[in-house]
Structure 1
Amino acid sequence: MLNNLLAPLCLTILAAALSACSKSEGEQAPAAPQVRIETVQTQALSITSELSGRIAAPRVAEVRARVAGVVLQRTYREGSDVKQGDVLFRIDPAPFKADLDSALASLRKAEASAFQARLQEQRYAKLIADQAISGQEYDNARAATRQADAEVAANQAAVQRARLNLGYATVTAPISGRVGRALVTEGALVGQNESTPLALIQQLNPIHADLTQSTRELNELRRALRAGQLQQVGKDQARATLIQDDGSPYALPGKLLFTDISVDPSTGQIILRSEFPNPDLDLLPGSFVRVRLEQAVNRQGISVPQRAIQRDGAGIAQVLLVDAENRVVQHPVQLGGAQNDRWIVTDGLKPGDRVIVEGVQHARPGEPVTIDTSPLPLAQHSGQ
């Protein structure tokens, strides 16, 4: 009877033991997370600065009235392109034609007087040889000739001035470019005691972007160049990329023209002028822009994908490395500028370091990981 009671109990204990054993075998340690790494290598990287500034026309000409008169006609279409020498305005020329006619008449009179004086001097020259006149009379004749010649020269200058004024009545474009709205209308009296502005012409293609950079940043760059850490970009090779309002780059690349030699005492900044093609006139003077400017080259530069960068609560940039034992190590880095989808690392990494670029969210410092060596998808691979 006792054996009959113990047999089921033993079977129950045995079944529980077998179940516990099988359960412990199924609960193995979790597998190490899988990550993808990138081995750090040095390469030539351009050192860029993103600077702000404004678009400026390379050449600007204020068209002004150079003579006083009434505007008879505006001959150009506002907002159109004009060439140097094109007629823009016509001022009433009648007064200037009259002045020219008067000057020409005065010139002819002076020339007649000079002709008479020369003839008299020639006659006196023969008489003085025969001692028929005094030396004083001959000297007076010679002086009269020279005085008459001076009158002719003065009247010739007056004629030239009258011709200039008559020419100024036809207002032409001093430079080629795009002309803006007219600042006066037909019938307006211009040039009265001042040179009245009539219109504004600006050259828009190519166009300039005047940028500002602090002297501190410029001095740091110069120190790095002198120390040999960076190399100067060759003349006319410093590329510039204009960033549009929506954050996209302007389609046409530009170049750095020069760096100004004086510092603005109120802001402590210096002007850098860049130039961009502007065939479609998308860039207009006065517009606020940002320009990514290449100022130097680091031949031993290091960069990592932006997705590999993490930041702690204090905002310090960090990366996760994989050591020789395939364990995760957290390491702070110092970042420079960004290029495309990568950050330039100025300090904290060395060639050969293995940086986790995928699976960062699953990696924990001090824990082991497995490295995924499978080929990247074509689209993802081409984007790196």
Structure 2
Amino acid sequence: MKIRPQLRFRSAAVVALGALFLAACTGGKEQGVAPGAGGPQQAPAVTVMTVKSEAVPMVAELPGRTTPYLIAELRPQVTGIVTERAFNEGSEVKAGQVLYRIDAAPYQAAHDSARAALARAEANAQVARIKAERHAGLVKIEAVSKQANDDAQAALKQAQAEVAAAKAALDKAKIDLDYTRLKSPIAGRIGRSAVTAGALVTANQAQALATVQQLDPIYVDLTQSSVEMLRLRSEIAAGSVKTGARGEVPVRLILEDGSEYAAEGRLALSEVTVDEGTGSVTLRAQFPNAEGVLLPGMYVRARLPQGTRSEAILVPHKALSRDPRGNALVMVVDGESKVAARPVQVAQSLGENWVVTGGLQAGERVIVEGLQRVRPGAPVQAEEAGAAPAAAAQ
């Protein structure tokens, strides 16, 4: 029987591989090395930081929006045609400055008519007074009857009442005439105008003609959770947070672009009720705004000092992680150079660190670098942060 070349080649290859495997096994036994054995694994190197207890200033960062210090909506008090708009939109106006003029002709005529009516009433009162004085003298000598004297005295009082009514009508006409010149009640910056010359406006209409806002100083309305406020008060009562002397509370402002507002403000008031819908308390801070950087409606963040925590531990942001439930934890290295997961309580963020209020003790070593190479219970080679690196040979 003839053997095909392909089968002959495969048989030779199998024999050669078997010989090589046997030689390798024999060589390993002769050298005394156990099959599958490898070199010892080294513990991973990590960087640790020895934490310490220190006094940490407590700062609350609250969201808020800017609101004008004063705001006035201009509405006409009389009905008429606007004859002039006496301001530039977006400009600064002064208190008492005339902003709109309404056609004053009908109100001027009413004012003149009221003045004439007052003059007529005063003339009638003069006649009634003379008659009443004459009857008062004549009734003593019984030259006139008591009834005639009573009528004269009553006519005098009626004439005096008509004078008073005429004066009130004149005052009303004068007020209406003054209302034809619509003035700014406050100093500030005026916005766009809702009407132009020739528009018909009505007294006490719903639509404002323009709005004037005083922006220097300016308010910032902040919201703080009532839970945080109660927690802070309890910590102050327990002595863990210390407050300074009473006085104005300084406030720093962070703008929308992340920059810090140059001027420092102060806390003006704290609302006395809690919003039922949001469960928060409104705080109002006042800031100088001479440059006009802050505009109404801007979203800002304010930083308010809330005392000093006497015994707190600062841990870098990169050293803290979260478990699946969202609880904060750090990895520590114990005395046997083994890793342990430690749950901690965090109060707030301060710069590049977390303020830890529970779960850690001063003197413990927290892993700040190399967290991805460790697991709880595993040994590590710990090196203190900031220490000189070990030599290459070591």
TM-score range, shorter chain: 0.7 to 0.9
Deviation at 1:259, TM superposition (A): 2.2
| Alignment check: 8 A CA contact 1:53 1:211 kept | yes
Cα deviation, 1:17-72, whole Å, max 9, x if unaligned, reads 9xxxxxxxxx9997994746344122142141x33333222221111101111111
Deviation at 1:233, TM superposition (A): 6.1
In structure 1, stretches of 5+ residues that fail to align are: 1-16, 18-26, 376-384
Aligned residues: 352
**In 2 relative to 1, CA 350–238 (structure 1 residues): closer, same or farther, beyond 3 Å?**
farther
| Alignment check: 8 A CA contact 2:59 2:303 kept | no
* Match in the other structure for 2:169: 158
* Match in the other structure for 1:265: 276
Look up the equivalent residue of 1:229 and give its one-letter code: S
SS in 1 for 2:95: coil
| Alignment check: 8 A CA contact 1:34 1:372 kept | no
Structure 1-normalised TM-score?
0.80
Identity among equivalent positions (%) equals 42
Cα deviation, 1:111-170, whole Å, max 9, x if unaligned, reads 111111111112112212221111111121111111111111111111111111111111
Matched, 1:369 2:370: no
Deviation at 1:354, TM superposition (A): 4.2
| Alignment check: 8 A CA contact 2:82 2:100 kept | yes
| Alignment check: 8 A CA contact 2:52 2:361 kept | yes
* Match in the other structure for 2:24: none
Query: How does 1:3-82 map onto structure 2 within 5 Å?
Result: 33=45, 35=47, 37-48=49-60, 50-82=61-93
* Match in the other structure for 2:151: 140
**In 2 relative to 1, CA 336–368 (structure 1 residues): closer, same or farther, beyond 3 Å?**
same
**In 2 relative to 1, CA 326–266 (structure 1 residues): closer, same or farther, beyond 3 Å?**
closer
Distance 1:30 1:155 in 2: 108
Distance 2:270 2:244 in 1: 13
SS in 2 for 1:205: strand
Deviation at 1:336, TM superposition (A): 2.1
SS in 2 for 1:102: helix
In structure 2, stretches of 5+ residues that fail to align are: 1-30, 32-38, 389-394
SS in 2 for 1:46: strand
Which of 328, 332, 335 is the aligned partner of 1:317? 328
Which of 181, 188, 202 is the aligned partner of 1:191? 202
Q: RMSD over aligned Cα, in angstroms?
A: 3.2
| Alignment check: 8 A CA contact 2:50 2:384 kept | no
SS in 1 for 2:53: coil
Which of 115, 125, 140 is the aligned partner of 2:126? 115
**In 2 relative to 1, CA 282–156 (structure 1 residues): closer, same or farther, beyond 3 Å?**
same
Which of 322, 344, 363 is the aligned partner of 1:333? 344
* Match in the other structure for 1:308: 319
SS in 2 for 1:293: strand
**In 2 relative to 1, CA 158–314 (structure 1 residues): closer, same or farther, beyond 3 Å?**
closer
Deviates more, 1:316-325 or 1:117-126: 316-325
| Alignment check: 8 A CA contact 1:72 1:92 kept | yes
| Alignment check: 8 A CA contact 2:250 2:305 kept | yes
Which of 299, 316, 326 is the aligned partner of 1:288? 299
Deviation at 1:308, TM superposition (A): 3.3
Deviates more, 1:246-255 or 1:82-91: 246-255
* Match in the other structure for 1:226: 237
**In 2 relative to 1, CA 54–34 (structure 1 residues): closer, same or farther, beyond 3 Å?**
closer
Deviates more, 1:107-116 or 1:123-132: 123-132
Which of 86, 91, 110 is the aligned partner of 1:99? 110
